[in-house]
Amino acid sequence: MTVEGDLAGGSPELRIAVLLSGTGRTLENLNAAIAGGQVPARVVAVVSSRAAVRGNDVARAAGLPLTVLPRRRFAGVEEFSDAVYRALSPHAVDLVVLAGFLSQLTIPERYRDRIMNIHPSLLPLFGGHGYWGERVHRAVLESGMKVSGCTVHFVDERYDAGPIILQRCVPVLEGDEPETLGARVFAEERRLYPEAIRLFAEGRLRVEGRRVRILPG
């Protein structure tokens, strides 16, 4: 497959596909950031891996083309990934944004370093299989750490393991419960994810092995 869109010098309007499995807060936030002019991009497709989640309604309400591909109907990661990429192929997608997407994907060459995820911890801590939702924040509290945060990273074939783009810290406060810590982390996610997508849109992210260099604006 060929790579569509030329991002070398930054694209005026990045064409984004959003993949989700849950409440769609990340999609809502991205829509707001785009509408507010913080991200020079357009969401051209949404794929959901679950049939009855709030995120699907968020996509519909925003008038975005939605494809629902329930993960449990596919035998394995390969079959599911093929269906996802088939759904994206008519949309000339520049960047795939995982937004609370809980399924693993294969990464075809066409999408290498073109799929981003945000994780609600300071990776590589508290990431990997099983670390999602409230469990992440519960594990952070149990560890006794005094800081947590969020991480935007490029996606490779392993859970939460691709090259790190941006990270932001939040304090762990006395009396925190998973819910209060999670809310503090998500407030930071609302700023961090649009910032990372903007850097991508501006052609300012260069992957060098495990490191992502941020080029000057």
d(Cα 145, Cα 53) in Å, to the nearest integer?
A: 33
User: Which tokens belong to 12?
Assistant: 């005026």
Q: Contacts with ligand GRF in 32-61 (CB under 6 A)?
A: 55
Q: Which stretch binds ligand GRF (CB under 6 A): 10-18, 65-73, 116-124, 157-165?
A: 116-124
- CB of 193 within 8 A of CB of 119? no
- Residues 40 and 38: their CA atoms lie apart, in Å, by 7
Binding to ligand GRF by residue 119, rule CB under 6 A? yes
Q: How far apart are the first and last CA of the chain?
A: 30
| Contact code string over 161-190 relative to ligand GRF, x by CB under 6 A | ----------------------------x-
CA–CA dist 32, 46 (Å, integer): 16
87-106: which residues touch ligand GRF (CB under 6 A)? 99-100
Cα separation, 138 vs 144, in Å, equals 10
149 binds ligand GRF (CB under 6 A): no
Q: Quick one: which of 50, 120, 165, 166 contacts ligand GRF (CB under 6 A)?
A: 120
Of 102, 93, 82, which is closest to residue 17 (Cα–Cα)?
93
Residue nearest to ligand GRF (CB): 100
Give the nearest distance from C-beta 1 to ligand GRF in angstroms.
26
Interaction residues for ligand GRF, span 5-34 (CB under 6 A): 20, 22-26
Our answer to whether residue 129 is catalytic in this structure is no
Dihedral over alpha carbons 169, 158, 34, 187 (to 10 degrees): -30
We find the least distance from the C-beta atom of residue 120 to ligand GRF, in angstroms, to be: 4
Q: Which residues are catalytic?
A: 119
Which residues make up the interface to ligand GRF (CB under 6 A)?
20, 22-26, 55, 99-100, 118-120, 189
